[in-house]
Structure 1
Amino acid sequence: MIRTANAPVSYGVFGLSRPDLVPLPDGEQLAAWVAEAGYEGIDLGPIGLFGDRVELPRLLERHGLALAGGWVDFPFAGTDEQFDRALAGYAPTLELFAAAGAIAPDRAPKPTLADSGSPERSASPGGAPELELDDARWATFAARVQRVADVTRAAGLEPTFHHHASTYVETPREIERFLADTDVGLTFDTGHLLVGGGDPVSDFPRWADRINHVHLKDADRSVLASARDSADPMRDIWERRVFVALGEGDLDVDRIVDTIVDSGYDGWIVVEQDVILQDADDVARARADQVANRERLRRWFA
């Protein structure tokens, strides 16, 4: 059964946030907004946003939500010291996922693994062949993903991997390489795939047997060109709203949702619309967009 969720990033709460410009909603407020908009689940967001392993399940139950997943990035292409430090710090996050899963075992969260990227990749959203890892660095990358997956599974949770703009798994070619060299399921993100040069409607069937999580988001690819000469392209495309409400960008929403449903996919669809809040009007717009996004999906998910 497909269930719908939303995420803190849709309300401006993520790594690129500007709390110096506008106060960000806290965990209680976010959960209330997501539930009121009609979603069944929510993503974890920054660690601590929804409290610790005791407070998180209580918050979810208060708002009638389940935890769908949550972003956990690792420096898979970094130094041994950087990676080992990140892996050593993973245990408290796993405890949060496990605590949330205990109250809704039929809707278990997917720890959503991702690469931390690099300054080089952040400077070129969309990727390019010359930015790909060479064979030796890629072998290390894939082995590290497997190590994190093994730790996740040992905790009784099934991981998923998020291809993402400005990381070393961004383009369709890099996604294919990842699928060939690991056994980890894929978070299929329609918006990031558009940014990375893919076609969600044709790519989903190719990878369907490995997709165990879906992020549904729309993207306006024209923003990539407008930020080409920016000093900070990654931040710039987010601030210029590369991610838009469903139906306002380059995603064929009807066709991709039909494709997902017809495939027999059984899991979470997390609606995301990454926004950087810059004033009070942006807060109101974010709330309205997530209500509209949920209504856009009523045809498939009442």
Structure 2
Amino acid sequence: MKATVAGAPVSFGVFEMTPEGAATVSADQLLEVLADAGYGGVDLGPVGFLGRDADLRARLSRFGLELAGGWVQLPFSDDEAFEASLPSLHDALRVFSDAAEAGPGRLPLPTLADDGSVARRARPGRGDDVDPLPDPAWERLFANTERAAGIVRAAGFEPTFHHHAGTFVESPEEIDRFLAHVDVDLTLDTGHLLIADGDPLDAVARWGDRINHLHLKDVDLAELGRVLSSGGGMTEVWSSGSFVAFGQGDLDLAGVMDAIEARGFDGWVVVEQDVLNAPDVAIDAFRTARGDDQRVNRAALRPWV
């Protein structure tokens, strides 16, 4: 397979939901683990975490890594809120441009995602029951996604769209509807698809020609089911340890990778083992455990890439 494997800050508890004041793994510590384990790239994480301008390029170069992509969450179904959020998109694109200035072997993909709603985030995978999106709001979501995609392409990058639990594009049926109306290809996230009762193997068969980015997660479905059945939302899912190292959960990794390879996939394979660390976490032990998992994850992908 011609793909390149990347790691992600979220696998080390570093993302937009990291608790205020919580101890975190530093950018250099995180990149050192990924480089030593044989990853070729890294996802952006919170804008600025890896640095900007020359600092960002120097950090990536020092560890022999390239930027794979990065999360850009926008309220696509609300015109006014979407307009107000556009500066965050432009800011993220400046960081992508910073990283790409040195001429990477594979360009990063700005990863667009819907903002969802409080009700949906509280009941992940059940969004259409608790907060269905009316048809006019769907039309706004389509139009604003196309507008954001145009901005991304004007900056020299190809966008990808991430279906995500707790948003208005989470279930297989919602993904079908989105892809039928928008000229933006898909980030397939195996973990978030499983939250929404999707089947990753079916997803490759169903949307394989539209998948231009891959987020791989293994999931302990028993633990995930416990969290969701007890009324937990996305915060509880991230905190529960539902996302586990490859081989410790229920994802048919070989099946998914074989199917992706058969499709001729040539892009980024981003390993994400989302974890939300507690504010009082013992950061050294946490970093060691996360590093051990990422070495397991990288080794598990060796048969393909």
| TM-score normalised to structure 1 length | 0.94
* Matched ranges for 1:105-144 at <5 A: 105-130=104-129, 131-144=131-144
Structure 1 residue 106: Cα displacement: 2.9
CA–CA distance in structure 1, aligned partners of residues 242 and 26 of structure 2: 24
Please say if residues 191 and 243 of structure 2, whose CA atoms lie closer than 8 Å, have aligned partners that are also in contact. yes
Q: Secondary structure at the match of 1:54?
A: helix
User: Which region of structure 1 is more displaced relative to structure 2, 173-182 or 218-227?
Assistant: 218-227
Partner letter of residue 294 of structure 2? Q
Structure 1: which 5+ runs fail to align? none
CA–CA distance in structure 1, aligned partners of residues 94 and 53 of structure 2: 6
Aligned sequence identity (%):
47
Partner letter of residue 91 of structure 2? P
Partner of 2:300: 296
User: Which region of structure 1 is more displaced relative to structure 2, 277-286 or 53-62?
Assistant: 277-286
Please say if residues 38 and 298 of structure 2, whose CA atoms lie closer than 8 Å, have aligned partners that are also in contact. yes
Please say if residues 123 and 231 of structure 2, whose CA atoms lie closer than 8 Å, have aligned partners that are also in contact. no
Structure 1 residue 287: Cα displacement: 1.0
Partner of 1:62: 62
User: Which region of structure 1 is more displaced relative to structure 2, 2-11 or 239-248?
Assistant: 239-248
Partner of 1:99: 98
- 1:38–1:170 Cα change, 3 Å: same
Partner of 1:260: 260
Q: Secondary structure at the match of 1:149?
A: helix
After TM superposition, where is structure 1 displaced by more than 4 Å over at least 4 residues in a row?
229-232
Partner of 2:19: 18
Structure 1 residue 206: Cα displacement: 1.5
- 1:221–1:229 Cα change, 3 Å: closer
Structure 1 residue 147: Cα displacement: 0.5
Partner of 1:166: 166
| TM-score normalised to structure 2 length | 0.93
* Matched ranges for 1:8-87 at <5 A: 8-18=9-19, 20-21=21-22, 23-78=23-78, 80-87=79-86
Partner letter of residue 250 of structure 2? D
After superposition, what is the alpha-carbon deviation per residue over 1:183-216, rounded to whole angstroms, capped at 9, x for unaligned? 0010011111111111111211211111110011
Partner of 2:245: 245
- 1:228–1:200 Cα change, 3 Å: closer
CA–CA distance in structure 2, aligned partners of residues 175 and 128 of structure 1: 13
CA–CA distance in structure 1, aligned partners of residues 297 and 13 of structure 2: 16
Q: Secondary structure at the match of 1:179?
A: helix
Structure 2: which 5+ runs fail to align? none
Please say if residues 227 and 236 of structure 2, whose CA atoms lie closer than 8 Å, have aligned partners that are also in contact. yes
User: Which region of structure 1 is more displaced relative to structure 2, 246-255 or 171-180?
Assistant: 246-255
